[in-house]
């Protein structure tokens, strides 16, 4: 019986492909087109406008919404943001359960695990907009600038963040912290746009869009960057 099951599985994968099998086994995967990037950007801008004006709606936080999402999710945007406690994307954009797929790491840098998470949101959940969100006075970027200027090393695994942010630091050596933060965002945007085999193909086809953003701690407003 066991051997027959293994053979059947092998035949299924051979006929339909391993990737198709992975998708079929994933109840969250959807072939729906998802929310178009332009519409997703508008939703983020509208939500941020509510946040900055103090007119928060706190949508999608009811028990009914929670029950609706118990078996599936289709976030309209993916956000790679800094882990900073002052920049929670769901609040900054006034969104609710199931609206945003969020990957957070200090300095909003990208590593294999973060990239895999972003790819999953696109390939399996149908997200068509990826926003890399940096912010004013980012401690990770500031620490990277100071560590590199001192020609030293950060303690422990914090050094990996310094290494990831280093290209932005070198590109803005004669500029201020804000410039480094924004260039770091743009570098990550470009890394995502050119990432193979999943994201680059989707970007080139126009299916998804990858953009950058900058959050002001002073005003709460998000400025969208072209990422170039």
Domain boundaries, the chain: 1-30, 32-225
Give the tens place of pLDDT for each residue, 24-77: 334 444 555 689 999 999 999 999 999 999 999 999 989 999 999 999 999 999
Which region among 9-23, 115-129, 171-185, 208-222 has the lowest average model confidence (pLDDT)? Answer: 9-23
> Mean pLDDT throughout 88-107?
98
Whole-prediction pTM value? Answer: 0.86
**CATH numeric code, 32-225:** 3.40.1050.10
Task: Count CB neighbours of 61 within 10 A.
Answer: 12
52: Cβ contacts below 8 Å, ≥ 6 apart: 219, 220, 221
């Amino acid at each position: 019986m066991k051997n027959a099951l293994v053979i059947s599985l092998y035949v299924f994968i051979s006929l339909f492909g391993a990737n198709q099998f992975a998708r079929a086994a994933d109840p969250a995967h959807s072939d729906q087109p998802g929310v178009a990037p332009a519409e997703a950007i508008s939703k983020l801008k509208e939500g941020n406008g509510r946040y900055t004006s103090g007119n928060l709606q706190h949508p999608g936080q009811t028990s009914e919404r929670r029950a609706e999402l118990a078996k599936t999710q289709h976030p309209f945007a993916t956000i790679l943001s800094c882990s900073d406690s002052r920049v929670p994307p769901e609040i900054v954009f006034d969104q609710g359960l199931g609206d945003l797929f969020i990957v957070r790491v200090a300095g909003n840098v990208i590593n294999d695990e973060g990239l895999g998470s972003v790819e999953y949101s696109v390939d399996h959940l149908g997200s068509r907009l990826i926003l890399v969100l940096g912010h004013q006075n980012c401690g990770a970027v500031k620490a990277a600038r100071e560590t590199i200027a001192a020609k030293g090393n950060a303690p422990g695994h914090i050094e990996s963040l310094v290494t990831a942010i280093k290209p932005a630091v070198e590109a803005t050596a004669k500029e201020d912290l804000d410039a480094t933060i924004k260039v770091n965002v743009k570098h990550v945007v470009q890394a995502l746009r050119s990432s193979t085999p999943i994201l680059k193909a989707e970007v080139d086809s126009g299916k998804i869009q990858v953009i950058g953003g900058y959050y002001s701690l002073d005003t709460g407003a998000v400025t969208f960057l072209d990422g170039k």
